[in-house]
């Protein structure tokens, strides 16, 4: 069985996702927002990106612009979850 090798774009996206997840999770925990909603919204943002914008992503390239795009997109997914958790907290009566 051959070992799966990730592209540089996938590695940049995973790094951005890990960094953004830790930062957003810390913010959610410190502010007392709902962690479950944060996790669900983060996963939904990631899946939506994979299905809607993922096919057009420059995942086969390894230039600096593509890697920055991948890292920024990975970093942004958890913050969508943070915004959903914050909105739910702000809308609570």
Specify the length of the chain in residues.
93
Exposed/middle/buried for 36, CB within 10 Å: 0-12, 13-18, 19+?
exposed
- pTM attached to this predicted model: 0.85
Please tell me what DSSP assigns to residue 4.
P
| H or E element at residue 41 | helix 35-52
- Non-local (6+) Cβ contacts of 47 within 8 A are none
Residue 24 near residue 38, CB atoms below 8 Å: yes
pLDDT digit string, tens, across residues 29-86: 999 999 999 999 999 998 998 898 888 888 888 899 999 999 999 999 999 999 999 9
């Amino acid at each position: 069985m051959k070992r799966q090798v990730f592209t540089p774009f996938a590695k940049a996206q995973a790094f951005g996702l890990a960094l953004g997840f830790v930062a957003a999770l810390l913010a959610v925990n410190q502010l007392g927002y709902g962690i479950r909603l944060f996790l669900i919204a983060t996963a939904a943002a990631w899946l939506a990106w994979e299905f809607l914008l993922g096919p057009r992503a420059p995942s086969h390239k390894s230039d600096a612009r593509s890697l920055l795009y991948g890292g920024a997109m990975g970093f942004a997914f958890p913050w969508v979850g943070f915004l959903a958790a914050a909105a739910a907290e702000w809308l609570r009566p």
